[in-house]
Amino acid sequence: MVRRTRRDPRHDILFEPLRIGPKVLRNRFYQVPHCSGLGDVKPFSQAEHRGVKAEGGWAAVSTEYAPVSLESDESPWISARLWDAEDAANLGLMAERAHEFGSLAAIELHHSGAHCYGGEARAWTLAPSQLASDLNAHIVPKAMEQADITRVKAEWVRAARAARDVGFDIIYVYGGHSYLPMQFLSPFYNHREDSYGGSFVNRARFWLELLEDVRNAVGDDCALACRVAVAALGPAGVELDEGLQLVQAADDLVDLWDLTIGSINDWSKDSGASRFFKEGYQLEWTGQVRQATTRPIVGVGRLTSPDLMAEIVRTGAFDLIGAARPSIADPFLPNKIEEGRYDEIRECIGCNVCVMKSEQLHHIGCTQNATAGEEYRRGWHPERFSRAANADLDVLVLGGGPAGMECAITLAKRQMRRVHLVEAAAELGGCMSWIPRLPGLGEWARVVNWRVVQLDRLANVEVIRSVRLTASQVREYGAELVVLATGSRWSSDGLSAATHAPIPGALDHRERVLVPEDVMVSGRRPAGERVLVYDAEGYFVAAGVAELLAIEGYDVELVTCLEQVAPLCDETLEGPMLRQRLHDCGVKLRRGVTLSSIGPEGALGEDEFGEPLSFAVDGVVLVTQRRSDDALYRELEADWGALRDEGVVGLYRVGDCVAPRIPADAIFDGHRLGREIDSADPSVPLPYLRERISLLPGSPALTPAARG
């Protein structure tokens, strides 16, 4: 049952309808285009992912970028291609799903210009001038001739008509993020000397002609949206003055302005991680566009606060609250605000794992919302949970970290009789009790905060803190099902991917050798000023510890055996800024170095060419590999007879207790076990629907009904 309370009257403005061209939005919540790894390749997943957001109250939901022709082939990246009628039919499923819930469907028609990778089509790419792509430096485009310009505009019009015909309500001319229309506008890309180059009027010509052609083709039936990065904050685009000029020049051709900042080569400024950007940060630039337009504006900035949203609309800076990441973290955010269920809002933490999952792994995922991307293939809904077939059983969950909390919540929502969550520490959170204390990661505390509130609201959950159970106590507890979520710890001996062996001397000098838990939980610090932080993992922990110690006044050198410092942070759009911040903090960075020993005077190692190195330091922090804290599980699992004698019928483990992974995957694992607790063997994930061509006779159709 949905708990309804009174909505704050200050937020009423967010639920006023708004007309954009021939269409009307039912409220002021707009899911802007964002990548998902689904595109046209997984049409049912695409439809369900966006459809759940429509159900959750977003007045409009959009595809990711949708290339209009093979000359804009984005592969190996996944896009929502609209090259032909089959693509249109696939994407039309999304429009149908959005309409079921009274939402409008938008499609972000696109051409990458110089940045096209063309991995599948193998066609040349097109650009205003023959200048190598600053995103993919090995790609040199063809300088567009008049015939190319005419053809691209015609392909855009064809795609717009096809999108209209399968039900899309809002058609984009996407030029933001330094794609083709912006390449014509920007002097960085446009070195032409004809009527499409030189002056602002000439450089804007292609974009304006394109808008006019698309408007003439579908403007009576669809709203025309234009997405523009009004300030590139770098060379790859235009700055605010010319961004405002474009808005003024095109205002009578556009029904909705969708505003961003940055460029595709500097995407980190648009999808800004919380480590570097506060909520609403884009308003510094996009908030100035109102002076240039009379048309509705949608803008973004990782907005999750209803108070800030209402203030933005009230002041007229934006007419619509745009969201990508917040809509992934909580697809039901609009409904929860409308119904006054503020404490149920699952706020985005700004970790950008959604970017990593969509771009690098080709299937969207989210730290906060384990159901993101699983709506079709696993049939998971973020707000609906079926009663488990074995709901008459009691469950004991040991470990109140991210995976344990998520598992307990999911089990409780599946109506298990009683769920006891037992945590050895005084507070819930596990590793997430100290990770948010690393510099810049404060908003990651939302992972714990939201789950603590939900656990408190669930009547069939009891949370027990400051209790560490032994194996005999677990057996005698009285629960029929036992789930171990005891996490992992960083290896104190320096075991790592580089050598698959401990570092000699690491355990012999424990007074000088620390791991992250020593620094962040126990409060230990190196004995002297000189510190070496050794990273063999490549994500956020080593860099965060190094920055923290540098802020505290230590002389820090971050050494990694990897080819780059914190390479996984490149996948979350944090890497370059993180390395710059470390540099600014005085942290020395050294890549491609493997430590070979640790002694009383420091550490020895060798570089990527085998040359010996020595480090005269007073302390070493090893961030090499985590090991599962699974001793209790193994002790229990070794004596199934004793478990059965006490009535235990199921023993499982989740999260890092199985295998250490990033927080998003640990949370997913806890959620998965809760969803599948009544399967034949919950320890083994159930198969999921894959969207593929099957040549087997009698293969079931890929329809939502096939989910069973």
Question: Active-site residues: which are they?
Answer: 179
Contacts of 684 (CB under 8 A, 6+ apart): none
CA–CA separation, 704 vs 708, rounded Å? 8
Neighbours of 465 (CB within 10 A): 13
What SS3 state is found at 69? coil
Residues in the chain: 708
Helix residue ranges, H only, 552-574: none
> In this structure, what are the phi and psi dihedrals at residue 158, rounded to the nearest 5 degrees?
-60, -45
CA–CA separation, 424 vs 422, rounded Å? 7
> In this structure, what are the phi and psi dihedrals at residue 220, rounded to the nearest 5 degrees?
-75, -20
CB 105 within 8 A of CB 169: yes
Bond into 436 cis (ω within 30): no
Q: Give how far Cα 626 sits from Cα of 171, 366, 430, 445, 592, Å.
A: 48, 22, 14, 21, 20
> Which amino acid is residue 286, in one-letter code?
T
- CA quadruple 283, 288, 289, 293: dihedral sign: positive
Q: Give how far Cα 203 sits from Cα of 125, 137, 149, 151, 617, Å.
A: 19, 23, 13, 18, 57
CA–CA separation, 546 vs 496, rounded Å? 19
Neighbours of 680 (CB within 10 A): 7
Return the structure tokens found at 561.
Answer: 């055996």
The label of the residue with tokens 């890549």 reads 591
CB 152 within 8 A of CB 184: no
Residue 500, Ramachandran bin (φ over 0: left; ψ between -120 and 50: alpha; else beta): left
Q: Are strands 418-422 and 104-110 parallel, antiparallel or unpaired?
A: unpaired
The label of the residue with tokens 């698959």 reads 500
Return the structure tokens found at 512.
Answer: 């000088």
Bond into 402 cis (ω within 30): no
Return the structure tokens found at 236.
Answer: 């790859």
CA–CA separation, 609 vs 522, rounded Å? 37
Contacts of 15 (CB under 8 A, 6+ apart): 27, 28, 338
CA–CA separation, 25 vs 551, rounded Å? 48
